[in-house]
């Protein structure tokens, strides 16, 4: 029962193929994929900036909240995809679009939860909280359907905006 010794150096055929410029897939695809957390952060920063600007605008002018959400997500998607293309010199692939979409929407919803908790604890008094709890207990379906609808809206708008911005800013498309 003899064991084969592990070879620590690269094989000459693989290193020769990589040096010749051929596009052979690497043995570890995770090593070539960029970390998307940085770009999810860019998405969140763009979303926060756009939301803050729209909150200031809404003090003077009434805007539809769904429209504000979609435009804020589009701005966040633009910033994230622009930074990705600038850093990586290529467009996002389908897996990266999915990871950026789900990560961006998760961050948006986490920020929304923090925002509503802040309103709940710092703005509402005990009577207002009791009234809101009573209303949500009596008719929970409108609240749940509104939450599901805004979640679907944010997922769809994030997916479409990331795809569209990625397609528009694709460096390969510009050169062809």
pLDDT in tens, 110-122: 988 998 899 989 9
CA 125/CA 131 separation, integer angstroms: 10
What is the model's pTM?
0.74
Q: List, for residues 119-143, the tens digit of each pLDDT value.
A: 989 999 999 999 989 988 998 898 8
pLDDT confidence band for 14 (50 / 70 / 90)? very low
CA 171/CA 176 separation, integer angstroms: 9
């Amino acid at each position: 029962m003899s064991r084969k010794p592990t070879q620590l150096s690269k094989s000459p055929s693989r290193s020769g193929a990589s040096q010749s410029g051929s596009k052979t897939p690497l043995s570890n695809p995770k090593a070539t994929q960029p970390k998307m957390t940085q770009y999810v952060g860019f998405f969140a920063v763009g979303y926060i900036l756009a939301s803050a600007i729209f909150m200031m605008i809404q003090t003077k002018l009434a805007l539809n909240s769904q429209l504000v959400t979609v435009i804020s997500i589009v701005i966040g998607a633009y910033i994230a995809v622009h930074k990705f293309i600038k850093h990586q010199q290529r467009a996002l692939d389908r897996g990266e679009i999915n990871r950026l979409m789900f990560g961006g929407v998760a961050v948006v919803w986490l920020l929304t939860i923090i925002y509503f908790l802040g309103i709940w604890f710092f703005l509402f008094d005990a009577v207002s909280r009791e009234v809101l709890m009573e209303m949500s207990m009596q008719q929970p379906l409108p609240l749940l359907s509104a939450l599901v609808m805004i979640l679907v809206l944010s997922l769809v708008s994030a997916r479409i905006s990331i795809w569209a911005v990625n397609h528009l800013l694709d460096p390969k498309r510009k050169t062809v």
